[in-house]
Every structure is written in structure tokens, then in C-alpha cells.
Amino acid sequence: MELPCRDVEPSGIRIRGSTGVLRRSAAILAEHEALQRSVRRMRGLCQAVALGQGPPVAETRRLIAGFLADLLTNFATEEGEDGYFDSLVAERPGLDARVAHLHAEHVQLAEVMDGVRILARDEGQGPHLALTLERALDRFQAHERAENQLLREVLLGAERRDEQ
């Protein structure tokens, strides 16, 4: 049973949302932090590869494949039945369209990152791979910002005009 939890006030900030949202958001935020650490590693890889100073090709492929696997795990956590996305919509039905958009972005991002993995398999590494990976990471981080913003709005009770 999800208990209402509307009066938690760490640091004087009133937190809204059910315990279901809070519990799931803690897990999601931990995954997001881990992914951001991976993104920083991937950015470093991009710079090195662009300069022709990347690690051995096999290592580049392994890093990219590992990042893709972590990404898909995170998407599955967010999309799972009765999971994070479901808990957000249950808490705020007006967020349905924005959550559906984030879900659609998962499909696109998975395709884009799989394209990077295939490029690394075919080309090994080089400036084109570095640029393609950088663009994929830019899209992923924009997605993460939108997702984190949505969570902030749910937890802090803020509402966007277009939701009302």
C-alpha cells in the first residue's frame, strides 16, 4: 500500500508525493548518478579518440557496450510495470504526455547508442566515432535533465502551465 507522504521537510523544503514515488525515485536517482559517472568516462574517451590517443580498440568497444547495457538497465527500471514512470503518472495523471514523451525518447536513445556500438565495431575508433558518441551523450543528458526536472516538479509540487 502506498502511503501519502506530503509533509516531509528536509532542509525546510516541503516534499510531496506518495511513498511509492519517493522509494522509486531514490533508486532512479542512484542509477542516474552512476550513469553520469559513465558519461564523464565516455566524454573522456571521446576526447582521447578524437585526438587519436584512445585506448586499444577492444577497450573502446567494451566501454561503449558497457554503457549501452547500463543505459538499457536504467530504461527498464523506469519503464517496468508498476515502476517509476507508472508511479509518477499515478501521482500526477496530468504528467501522462510528458512521461510518454520520455518513454519514446528511450527507444530513440537506445537506437542511437546501439548505432554508436555498431560504429565502434565497424570502425574501431576515430574522429567520426568520437563526434557520434558526443552527440549521443548530448541527447542522453538532455533526456536526463528533463526526467530530473519532472521528478523535481512531482516532489516539490510545482506545476507547469501546460499541464493544467
**DSSP-derived secondary structure for 101-128:** HHHHHHHHHHHHHHHHHHHHHHH-SSHH
What is the closest distance, in whole angstroms, from the C-beta atom of residue 99 to Fe ion in the complex?
Answer: 10
What is the closest distance, in whole angstroms, from the C-beta atom of residue 59 to Fe ion in the complex?
Answer: 27
Tell me the number of residues near Fe ion by CB under 5 A: 2
Write out the three cell numbers for 69.
547495457
Site string for Fe ion, 77-116 (x = CB under 5 A): -x--------------------------------------
Site of grid cell 525515485: 25
Span 139-158, contacts to Fe ion by CB under 5 A: 147
Q: Which is nearer to Fe ion, 71 or 130 (CB)?
A: 71
Alpha-carbon gap, residue 21 to 126, rounded angstroms: 43
What is the closest distance, in whole angstroms, from the C-beta atom of residue 108 to Fe ion in the complex?
Answer: 11
What is the closest distance, in whole angstroms, from the C-beta atom of residue 82 to Fe ion in the complex?
Answer: 17
C-alpha to C-alpha distances, 58 to 34, 45, 148, nearest whole angstrom: 23, 13, 34
Q: Which is nearer to Fe ion, 49 or 136 (CB)?
A: 136
Site of grid cell 559513465: 38
Site string for Fe ion, 11-50 (x = CB under 5 A): ----------------------------------------
Partners of residue 18 on adjacent β-strands: 4
**Interface contacts to Fe ion, rule CB under 5 A:** 78, 147
